[in-house]
Amino acid sequence: MGRYVIRRILQGLLTLFIVLFLLHYLMALSVQIRGNPAILFFGGERTPPPAMLAQVERLYGLDNNCYERTGDPCLVPFVERLQNYASGDFGTTLNGNRNVGELLGIYIPNTLRLFIFATLTLVVVAMVLGTWAARHRGRFIDHSVRGTTILIDSVPVFLILLAYVYMAAVPLTRWARDIWGTESFMGQVFRPNYNPDYPWTTILVPGIIVGTVGLATLTRLVRASQLENLGSDFVRTARAKGLGKMRITIVHVVRNSMIPIVTGVGYLFAFMLSGAVLTEGIMGIPGMGRMIFQAVQRQETNLVVVGLTVSAVVVVLVSLIVDLLYAALDPRIRYE
């Protein structure tokens, strides 16, 4: 087990190294092809004096000659970038000269809140619907669950968000505030936009909407996994002992069906990153997705690289956690 954990950590670090290098190389190509982004520091509308431009290039690490040679991987700046990341220095932005580390401290917590609600929604709803469908295999409930989840999953997230913001949020907010008051939980939870004074409350509904991403896939996975276990010997033995249906489902079927489900959750968690960009943009949530989108618009190459690096770290960590959960869910698994 210990060797397996060490091997998986080393594989994760290698993956992060490759991702960092590819991001750095793409950024270097962008500078080499499109021109020096340091000019944006001066507004991009006028050519600054050479001495002043050189000073800004040194400040943002763009003074290396490799940025003038198209295709050069710029290995020296890459090593310097890794050293800065290791020391906690993520640089500054070109527009506004803000510390990127401070921005991450603002954006990351909001994205974590969004994914907590999204993951809980996905897991709970898929488990309930998948279990329900498995227990009523081939009946009307089974077909209804599969059809409904496919219908929900086929609608793009941004359409659900737009429908909620422009059709449901305003009347629901007005109704809740008339009954419970503006500062109440219900008065804030249906807001059509993010409120920094109520970060958890105003992210609840967007998180639930993001949690619908991949709902049909996970529900079918839960159903198939539980159907496989319902026909196993240990379930027949439990029935022969006179155990109730609910106890058999929760204690025996659900627990022994969790390994493929955990795998699916890990995959869908990474897939939900794409939905977070749209959700944060439409709902005005200052999160990582919105930060990366705005950084691309403003040509903030360093901010884009840092944001994608954080996303890569999250995906690698989730993959590692999923692998380690296998042994906890099934004691028969042994890693050598």
Which homologous superfamily does the CATH classification assign to the domain defined by 101-299? MetI-like (1.10.3720.10)
Domain ranges of the chain: 2-95, 101-299
- What would the mean pLDDT of 15-31 be, rounded to a whole number? 88
Count the neighbouring beta carbons within 10 Å of the beta carbon of residue 214. Answer: 22
Tens digits of residue pLDDT in 254-274: 777 777 778 777 777 766 666
Tens digits of residue pLDDT in 107-146: 999 988 998 898 899 888 998 899 889 888 889 999 999 8
Q: Taking the alpha carbons of 153, 158, 160, 161 in that order, is the dihedral positive or negative?
A: positive
Which position has the higher pLDDT, 21 or 65? 21
What's the confidence (pLDDT) of residue 320?
Answer: 81
Count the neighbouring beta carbons within 10 Å of the beta carbon of residue 68. Answer: 10
C-alpha closest to that of 306 among 74, 92, 43: 92
E-strand ranges in the chain read: none
CA pair distance 132, 296, nearest whole angstrom: 44
What's the confidence (pLDDT) of residue 39?
Answer: 66
For all residues of the chain together, what is the average pLDDT?
82
Token pair listed for 83: 């050293």
**DSSP type of residue 182:** T
Above 80 in pLDDT, residue 285? yes
What's the confidence (pLDDT) of residue 301?
Answer: 78
Where does the pLDDT of residue 45 fall: very low under 50, low under 70, confident under 90, or very high at 90 and above?
A: low
What's the confidence (pLDDT) of residue 96?
Answer: 63
Among 28-32, 207-211, 247-251, 307-311, the range scoring the smallest mean pLDDT is: 247-251
What's the confidence (pLDDT) of residue 172?
Answer: 92
Where does the pLDDT of residue 189 fall: very low under 50, low under 70, confident under 90, or very high at 90 and above?
A: very high
Where does the pLDDT of residue 38 fall: very low under 50, low under 70, confident under 90, or very high at 90 and above?
A: low
What's the confidence (pLDDT) of residue 175?
Answer: 92
What pTM, to 2 d.p., does this model score?
0.81
